[in-house]
Amino acid sequence: MSTLMPLIWVILSSFKTNQEIFTSTFSLPREWQIQNYINAIRLDGLFEAFRNTIAVSVICTFITTLVASMASYALMQKFKLTKKIYYFLIAGIYVPINAFMVPYFILSIVTKTYNTIWALIMVYSAINLPMAVLILKAYMDTIPKEICESAVVDGCSFSKTFFKIILPLSLPGMSTIGVFQFIMPWNEFLFATILTQDKASRTLQVSIRFFMGTFVVDYASMFATMVVCLVPTIFAYILFQEQVISGLTSGALKA
C-alpha cells in the first residue's frame, strides 16, 4: 500500500487544477481536468524527448543484456581467475553513482558524444552492467553443466553452445535484467541533465522540469506528463512479470 499511494496520488493530481492540488490534496478531483494531458502533449519537445528516451532505453537494454550474458557465460567456465574477474565486474555496484559524474562528463567530451543520446547510452550501459552480471551469472549457474558437456561432445563450439543452448535457457534471467535495464534509463535524471542540453537530445525526465518556470510551476500538467511517462515502464513489467520473478527466484535458490 505504501508503494501504491504515491502512484495513486500522482494520477489523481494529474486530473486536478493547480489550486485543487493544494486545497484538496488527497480527495478525488471535483472536475476531471483532461486539459492537463492536452498541455502535457503540447509541451514543446515532448515527442522528441519521448523518442530519445525510448531509443536510449532500448539500446541500453540490448547492449547491457548481450554483454552481461556473454560475460556470465564465460564466468560459468572454471579457470584460475574466474572469481577475481567476477568480483571485479560486480565491484561497480558498491561505487556511488555520483562518483561517476565528473569522469563520465570528461569522457563524453573526449569521445565527442556530449549533448547526444550516445553519451547517455554509454553511461547507462556501464552503470547497469555490474548488476546485470550479478543476476544473470546467478541464473546461469542453475543450468546443469552436463548440458554444456553434452553439447561439446556433439561437436558444438564454445560460441555455438552459447547461442544455441545457454542463451535460450537463460531467457527468464535475461528478461529480468532486461526489465531492470529498461526502467533505469527511462527514469534517470541526473546524468540526463548533465550530459544533454539541447532539445534534440533531451529525455522525458529532463523535459518534465520545463513545467517549472521562474515564478510559476504548472504542477497539474507536470503530474499528467509523469503519468504518461509511467505507462511504458508499467506495461513492460506487466508483460514480463512472470519471467522477472522466475529469473530472480532461480538465482536465489541456487545461491
Q: What is the pLDDT of residues 177-189, one digit of tens each?
A: 888 888 888 989 9
The reported pLDDT for the residue numbered 253 is: 47
Domains of the chain: 45-206+230-254 (1.10.3720.10)
Which DSSP string corresponds to 38-94? Answer: HHHHTSTTHHHHHHHHHHHHHHHHHHHHHHHHHHHHHHHS--TTHHHHHHHHHGGGG
**247 or 185, which is more confident?**
185
Q: Which of 105-119, 146-160, 210-224 has the lowest mean pLDDT?
A: 210-224
Residue 120: which of 187, 175, 209 has the closest Cα? 187
Residue 145 contacts residue 73 (beta carbons within 8 Å):
no
Confidence band for 248, pLDDT divided at 50, 70 and 90? low
CA angle 199, 203, 206 (to 5 degrees): 80
Confidence band for 255, pLDDT divided at 50, 70 and 90? very low
Average pLDDT over residues 23-42: 85
Q: What are phi and psi of 70, to 5 degrees?
A: -70, -40
Residue 191: which of 111, 254, 99 has the closest Cα? 99
The reported pLDDT for the residue numbered 195 is: 92
Q: Is 135 exposed, middle or buried (0-12, 13-18, 19+ CB in 10 A)?
A: buried
Average pLDDT over residues 209-230: 80
